[in-house]
A and B are shown apart, each in its own frame.
Chain A
Amino acid sequence: MTKVLIIGSGISGLTCAIECASRGINSVLVSPFPSERAQSVLAAGGINAVLRQDNGDSIEKHIEDTLKGGGNIAGVKAVTGLCTEAPSVVRWLESLGTVFSRDEEGKIRQRPFGGQTYPRTCFAGTSTGKQIVTALVMEARRLEGQGLIERRFWSDFHSALIKDGKCCGALIFNEASGTLEAVTADAVVIAAGGQNMMFGKTTGSTQCDGYTAGRLLMQGVKLKNLEFIQYHPTAIETDRKNMLVSEAARGEGGRLYYEEDGKRVYFMEDKFGEKGNLMPRDVVSRTMYETGRDIFLDVSFLGREKILDRLPEVYDLCMKYRGIDITRESIPVKPTVHFFMGGIAVDLNHMTNIRDLYAVGECASIYHGANRLGGNSLLAAVYSGRVAARSIASSAPGSDGSDWSGFVKSEQDRLAVRREVTGDTTVSYVKTVLADTIGSALGIARSAESIAKGMETVDHFLAIKDEISFNKSELEYFNYRIDGLLNLGKAMLICADSRRESRGSHIRSDYPETDDAFRKATIVSLEDGEFRTELVVEDDYAG
């Protein structure tokens, strides 16, 4: 292949571009804003890899923890690939100059994260994701200087260019010129991140909206496991978002409790023993939910010095946004939407069901099953970018020189028609109601009833979607994405409805047990206006 179009410039998109360039393949990296604004920079905690085995840790244990933490539905082959390559991923990041934290001997420091049998989360102070982005951007810049990477800003994905089951590029909307452009390529890689916009306050970035997955679903791309949404147990509510209190706070010894009759009840330790606070996220969030109480996280006993040394960002954010001094007071925490295990269905090469259309990073669904372990998604972002690049490099060039001007015109005309729609049902209204709807329907616990209620609202909006009026003062992307978001919302509800069991992050109050019949992944597709789901065994689907 000679030219690749990559949508999204977070850690997965950057990695893919760099790895393609290192094989002499040109890539165009498209995103509305530079990588410094991508959600990847928020990742604080770390990235998992087995770097030492003298303490009893091993790649096998990393694989085992990942599969078990994910509710035993992720594919063994995929997870084996991920964990086996993890040490080389971290070494590669190190070789690009990432400023990892080091111990006295100069070795990369590692700490325990939830669901791990050994401490294997490598970190870079309190800004692991940011330090990785800094190193990757520098490398991308070097390759840009050689003409191998082109970074394009002010550009948003609109649609894929698909012909005869093969992807030949994408329609890109340029916000600066207000026009659509067909960018053709031998392969397209989607690296657009998670689906935060489907919910209200999350821990993540406003740039992760899920539109790309929703739009691709409308174009025949299969999605997977959309019911698995990770609620991070410890977020602190602020006026604009719920900010993450890193798992490192519990890794360093932080304790969760609620108050009863003036006494503290350390419910996680009571239920799960000494390591209770560091159970996998799904277990902690579910247990917090089941208490029905206000929950607090106490780190104050660690002492001021240790807190300021190990958890400075937690100290700063609690002080700045809530005026809470964590060296003296407990942190009020609540489970909050944080990560999406579900997304675009891919095979072991990260290719979708459409030839030469790939998905990498958080928007792809393959490694995390029903629940992701902390530190495994930065790993998956880098690893998936590398895997896709390797597959792309070994494929024959494929763009067929088709003329897409007709498609560009028809989509341009469609946008022009939508711009003229007037009426009270505005895009921003629908977006807000949609987030409230999905948030209520797919809370930590959901039921046939909550899902049906949500479906009613989403179906209503889908039925009147052509009557939704655009806001002319908004960036155009904020308007046209609404159709993709509505379809994604419906697909999420359908997935959640179809899984009639509780597993990992998917808790059905009407089906509280785990059922072996569902030890599979949910695939959802949209064909001729019909949503369909099927259950597949991961290892079979991924190839």
Chain B
Amino acid sequence: MRVKIKRQQYPGAEPFWQEYTYEGDMNVSVAAVIDSINSKDNPDVVSWECSCLQAMCGGCAMVINGVPRLACDTFVNKLKGSELVIEPLRKFPVIKDLVVDRGIIQENLKKASTYIGEYEHDDKYSQELEYQIGRCLKCGLCLEACPNYVKGDNFFGPLFADDSYFINARSKGDKKAIKRNYDKHFAKGCSKALACEKVCPVNIPTLSAIARMNRL
């Protein structure tokens, strides 16, 4: 199988495409394909981020055949077409090859004071939804897929909407402030394209969180 990878030597460098041939088992993840490219005594390895290798950490988020996905959670034999095309996430600055700097996610959550502070559970909220949101990997796939998210300047994207619901349900703090931040950094910019739910690797029901936040 032909594998095309978009590479970049260092931040700001000109990206370039490199082609490889993969001849191994097709019943494997894209992460395994990248590893196999890297392991052939290759002095020029393709950099990529990885930690858990089982879709629990979000490290290996990238764009695979045009779709934002986790490499360890995407199986080659389930992909359409005869080619595998891999690119880094496009909405974050590239550090090297497939490794991007997703620091903006943490920065924006900090900017919007996304924390619980003093905990108090409001029983009118759904513990199940909070649990689902608590599993968010902060991988950035929802931001990549969202047509409204550009660089995170003012619109902080679906993961912020989820976390807003989470802290609203669990914080004793100033709920009006939480809602204000939600409106400012999410509700105003969301066009309800729903691409976020489709790409979420842990299936967070973002739409439910949005619906509940909008009703407040």
A176 & B127 in contact (Cβ 8 Å cutoff): no
With A33-B49, A97-B171 as given contacts, are A473 and B117 in contact (CB-CB < 8 Å)?
no
Alpha-carbon distance between A141 and B43 when the two chains are bound, in angstroms:
40
B28 & A206 in contact (Cβ 8 Å cutoff): no
B29 & A239 in contact (Cβ 8 Å cutoff): yes
B46 to A: closest C-beta gap in Å: 8
B11 & A176 in contact (Cβ 8 Å cutoff): yes
A residues 317-364 touching B (CB-CB < 8 Å): 317, 320-321
B117 to A: closest C-beta gap in Å: 6
**Residue A205 at the B interface, CB < 8 A?**
yes
**Residue B194 at the A interface, CB < 8 A?**
no
A33 & B59 in contact (Cβ 8 Å cutoff): yes
Alpha-carbon distance between A349 and B210 when the two chains are bound, in angstroms:
46
A37 & B57 in contact (Cβ 8 Å cutoff): yes
B72 & A240 in contact (Cβ 8 Å cutoff): yes
Which chain A residue lies CB-closest to B72?
A240
**Residue A292 at the B interface, CB < 8 A?**
no
Q: Which of B39, B53, B135, B171 contacts A127 (CB 8 A)?
A: B135
Alpha-carbon distance between A153 and B136 when the two chains are bound, in angstroms:
19
A205 & B51 in contact (Cβ 8 Å cutoff): yes
A135 & B95 in contact (Cβ 8 Å cutoff): no
| Chain A residues, CB < 8 A from B130 | 99
A residues 108-164 touching B (CB-CB < 8 Å): 124-125, 127, 130-131, 134-135, 138-139, 141-142, 144-145, 151, 153-154
A241 & B53 in contact (Cβ 8 Å cutoff): yes
Which chain A residue lies CB-closest to B121?
A97
A206 & B43 in contact (Cβ 8 Å cutoff): no
With A33-B51, A97-B170, A138-B167 as given contacts, are A41 and B114 in contact (CB-CB < 8 Å)?
no
Q: Which of A38, A42, A134 has the most CB of B within 10 A?
A: A134
| Chain A residues, CB < 8 A from B110 | 141, 144-145
Q: Which of B52, B58, B136 contacts A205 (CB 8 A)?
A: B52
A180 to B: closest C-beta gap in Å: 18
Which chain B residue lies CB-closest to A207?
B51
A96 & B119 in contact (Cβ 8 Å cutoff): yes
B51 & A38 in contact (Cβ 8 Å cutoff): yes
A residues 481-512 touching B (CB-CB < 8 Å): none
Alpha-carbon distance between A42 and B134 when the two chains are bound, in angstroms:
13
**Residue B191 at the A interface, CB < 8 A?**
no
**Residue B84 at the A interface, CB < 8 A?**
no
| Chain B residues, CB < 8 A from A426 | 41, 43
Alpha-carbon distance between A98 and B170 when the two chains are bound, in angstroms:
9
**Residue B181 at the A interface, CB < 8 A?**
no
A317 & B54 in contact (Cβ 8 Å cutoff): yes
Q: Which of B31, B39, B51, B106 contacts A151 (CB 8 A)?
A: B106
**Residue A36 at the B interface, CB < 8 A?**
yes
**Residue A39 at the B interface, CB < 8 A?**
yes
A460 to B: closest C-beta gap in Å: 20
Which chain A residue lies CB-closest to B96?
A475
Alpha-carbon distance between A338 and B29 when the two chains are bound, in angstroms:
22
Q: C-beta contact mask, A18-50 vs B, less than 8 Å → 1, else 0?
A: 000000000000000110111101100000000
A145 & B106 in contact (Cβ 8 Å cutoff): no
A226 to B: closest C-beta gap in Å: 23
With A131-B135, A153-B103 as given contacts, are A473 and B52 in contact (CB-CB < 8 Å)?
no
| Chain A residues, CB < 8 A from B28 | 239
B51 & A39 in contact (Cβ 8 Å cutoff): yes
A475 & B47 in contact (Cβ 8 Å cutoff): yes
**Residue B45 at the A interface, CB < 8 A?**
yes
A residues 403-443 touching B (CB-CB < 8 Å): 426, 428-429
| Chain B residues, CB < 8 A from A320 | 73
B164 to A: closest C-beta gap in Å: 12
A96 & B138 in contact (Cβ 8 Å cutoff): no
**Residue A243 at the B interface, CB < 8 A?**
yes
| Chain B residues, CB < 8 A from A38 | 51, 57
Instruction: Please list 29 pairs of residues, one from A and one from B, whose beta carbons are closer than 8 Å in the complex, sorted by A's number.
Output: A33-B59, A36-B57, A37-B51, A37-B52, A37-B57, A37-B59, A38-B51, A41-B57, A42-B56, A94-B119, A97-B170, A125-B131, A127-B56, A127-B134, A130-B135, A141-B110, A141-B114, A142-B113, A142-B116, A142-B117, A175-B95, A176-B95, A176-B101, A240-B35, A241-B54, A320-B73, A426-B43, A472-B43, A473-B45
Q: A145-B115, A176-B101, A475-B96 given. 12 additional CB < 8 A pairs?
A: A37-B51, A42-B56, A42-B57, A99-B134, A130-B134, A134-B136, A135-B116, A141-B109, A241-B54, A321-B54, A428-B39, A473-B43
